[in-house]
Amino acid sequence: MKKSIQSKSKMKHVIRYIVVSILLIWSLFPVYWMLNNSFKNRIEQFSDTPTFYPNQVTLENYMTLFLELGFHKALLNSLLIATVATTIAVFIGALAAYSLSRYRFIGRKGLLVWILLTRIFPPVTFVIPLYEMMGNAGLLNTRIALILAYIAFNLPFAIWLLIGFFNEVPFELEESAMIDGASPFQTFRKVVLPLIIPGIGATAIFTFITAWNEFLYAMIFIQSPELSTVPVALSGLITEYLVLWGPMSAGGILSAIPIVLLVYLMQDTFIKGLTLGAVKG
């Protein structure tokens, strides 16, 4: 009887590992193929027989990307825009989420519903009004236009996500700090904020990824190639008569590196943020 139970348990584990392995291969193989393709020359890329590794490793795709196409400018633009937009969105979102979590006032529920509705609509619905606003303010074809657009789009998400984290902090901690003479802002900054650092880290990662990968606003608001972001620069490698598969694969790999590094460096904070409040004592 015990052997039968153990064999069933082992079989379940084997099936689980097989399923997980298939899903991993399905997810990671396109990334591997893109990396593999980025080190091939043009002749090998269009070979009738696909190769799972370069017969002759070359860096010409990366050299073309930087020396001829100026891809480093797009990387710097995306890094600057995404970082500034994320910082401002998370900062304002934390203040707004704290006030909505702790204070009760007339119209609070309506404000929460309005914030949620602005996040439900797809980004394309806001393109025309934002374009007109940026044009009237003289901000079109500037990095500021994208930063403001990304803040407007990511702020509702940051607020709703952070409200849940603030709700998990016991109000008694703040009352104790206020009894000791701390002001409301000091209580927020020195007591509450350190406790939700994992939540802020998780929110920042999601917000940064959204801003980094955004394509629609970047394509419409920016006309100068010097100010293009990574998604727009990569789309420019597809023309009517030619697709630069090698540089595009190299650009895809390079564009993924900042996200991978960010998640790797903040993985502990990210995991704690995702599980914060999942287990209550």
Residue 51 lies in a domain: no
41 and 139 share one domain: no
Q: Residue 112's pLDDT is what?
A: 82
69 and 21 share one domain: no
For 158-177, what is each residue's pLDDT tens digit?
998 888 888 888 888 877 87
What is the model's pTM?
0.84
Instruction: Give yes or no for residue 122 having a pLDDT over 70.
Output: yes
Residue 215 lies in a domain: yes
CA dihedral over 122, 128, 133, 134, signed as positive or negative:
positive
Instruction: Give yes or no for residue 234 having a pLDDT over 60.
Output: yes
40 and 65 share one domain: no
33 and 170 share one domain: no
Instruction: Give yes or no for residue 38 having a pLDDT over 50.
Output: yes
Residue 212 lies in a domain: yes
Mean pLDDT of 188-213: 88
Count structural domains, the chain: 2
Q: Residue 6's pLDDT is what?
A: 63
CATH number of residue 246's parent domain: 1.10.3720.10
Residue 159 lies in a domain: yes
Whole-angstrom Cα distance, residue 281 to residue 277? 10
Strands (E), 142-227: none
Cα→Cα distances 184→45, 111, 215, Å? 62, 22, 40
Cα→Cα distances 252→30, 32, 209, 213, 246, Å? 11, 11, 14, 11, 10
Mean pLDDT of 201-229: 92
Least confident of 8-17, 200-209, 223-232: 8-17
pLDDT band at 278 (very low <50, low <70, confident <90, very high): very low
Residue 54 lies in a domain: no
User: Would you call 214 exposed, middle or buried from its count of C-beta atoms within 10 A (0-12, 13-18, 19+)?
Assistant: buried
92 and 24 share one domain: no
Instruction: Give yes or no for residue 57 having a pLDDT over 90.
Output: no
24 and 126 share one domain: no
Whole-angstrom Cα distance, residue 91 to residue 200? 9
Mean pLDDT of 215-228: 92
Mean pLDDT of 122-126: 84
Residue 281 lies in a domain: no
In eight-state DSSP terms, residue 190 is I
31 and 108 share one domain: no
Tokens of 177: 């700090």
Q: What percent of the chain has pLDDT over 70?
A: 92
13 and 124 share one domain: no
Cα→Cα distances 103→139, 194, 228, 266, 271, Å? 36, 20, 42, 31, 29
3-state secondary structure of 206: helix
What is the rounded radius of gyration, in angstroms, for the C-alpha atoms of the chain?
A: 24
97 and 136 share one domain: yes
- Identify the domain containing residue 94 by its residue range: 60-275
Q: Residue 277's pLDDT is what?
A: 47
Q: Residue 275's pLDDT is what?
A: 56
Residue 280 lies in a domain: no
256 and 204 share one domain: yes
228 and 131 share one domain: yes
Instruction: Give yes or no for residue 141 having a pLDDT over 80.
Output: yes
Least confident of 3-7, 43-47, 65-69: 3-7
